[in-house]
Amino acid sequence: MKFINEVQWGRLDYLVVDLPPGTGDASLNLLQTLPVAGVVVVTTPQEMAVADARKGLKLFAEHDAPVLGVVENMAAYHCPNCEDTHEVFGSGGAAEISDDYDVPVLADLPVHPDFGSEAGGPTIRDEDSAVQDDLFDFVDETADRVGEINRRKVAEHVAERGDDVPEEADAPAGSP
């Protein structure tokens, strides 16, 4: 957590942290160091990865970190030559977690040659790639879930305080 504590980040809306799978020290340190707006649990279709993702989900839930949803990475391989989709690693790991823990599947991301990793993080090598839509949809779903959880927290806070929103606050500006 030295990286988080000793960097002058400036004003951030969000800081996305990629953690190793499961329930290791990195996850615990993060929970003890930062306010967590939400967690996206990532798995691949293989049984061992799904088991690790379940452990991570339980850890974050036990520490009241909102679980935004689950992503299945390497869900399928889209062959650029034959245009077929192949489930090389199996399928359905994220769906199982979703069903068991009542969290949404935010995305099923494929293995695709257009996904790359350059200095500075993951990239899409071809901006016209079909997988670009998959990533944009994932980002949109995640942002929607953060907003939903934030609205729920505000509503709970207001209900706990017993505050009522004044009627005039509901009226559009300029109305009588």
* pLDDT tens column, 6-57: 888 888 888 888 888 777 888 888 888 888 889 999 999 999 999 999 999 9
Burial per residue of 150-167, b for 16 or more beta-carbon CB atoms within 10 angstroms, e otherwise: eeeeeeeeeeeeeeeeee
Of 19, 15, 106, whose CA–CA distance to 67 is shortest?
106
What pLDDT, on a 0 to 100 scale, did the predictor assign at position 18?
82
Domain boundaries, the chain: 2-152
Taking alpha carbons only, the member of 58, 70, 78 closest to residue 142 is 70
Give residue-wise pLDDT tens across range 124-137.
666 666 777 888 88
Assign a CATH topology to domain 2-152.
Answer: Rossmann fold (3.40.50)
**Residues with Cβ within 8 Å of residue 100, at least 6 apart in sequence:** 54
pTM score above 0.85: no
Query: 15: which 2 tokens?
Result: 């800081």
